[in-house]
Amino acid sequence: MRELFNHQITFNEDISTWDVSNVTDMSFMFFNAQAFTGSLSSWDVSKVKTMRLMFASTNYNLSISNFNLESCENISGMFRGNKSFNVDISKWNVSKVHSLQATFKNATAFNQDISEWDVRNVEDCGECFLGAEMFDRRWVNDWVLKRGRGVPKKGVPRSAFIGHGVGLGL
**Using one digit for the tens of pLDDT, what is the confidence trace for 120-160?**
899 888 899 999 999 998 888 888 777 654 455 556 666 67
What is the pLDDT at residue 170? 26
| Dist CA 73 CA 136 (whole Å) | 24
Q: Phi, psi (5° rounding) for residue 74? A: -140, 115
The residues of the chain scoring below 50 in pLDDT are 149-150, 164-170
Are 93 and 118 in contact by the 8 Å Cβ rule? The answer is yes
What is the pLDDT at residue 2? 95
Sign of the four-CA dihedral 148, 115, 137, 97: positive
CA 156 from chain centre, in angstroms, equals 16
What is the pLDDT at residue 165? 38
What is the pLDDT at residue 156? 64
Nearest to 4 by CA among 35, 21, 25, 34: 25
Cβ burial 22-45 (10 Å sphere, 16+ → b, else e): ebebbbbbbbbbbebebebeebeb
What is the pLDDT at residue 149? 47
Residues in the chain: 170
| Dist CA 81 CA 42 (whole Å) | 25
CA-CA distances (angstroms) from residue 129 to 18, 21, 79, 103, 160? 32, 30, 10, 7, 6
Estimate the share of the chain in helix, then strand, then coil, as percent rounded to the nearest 5: 5, 5, 90
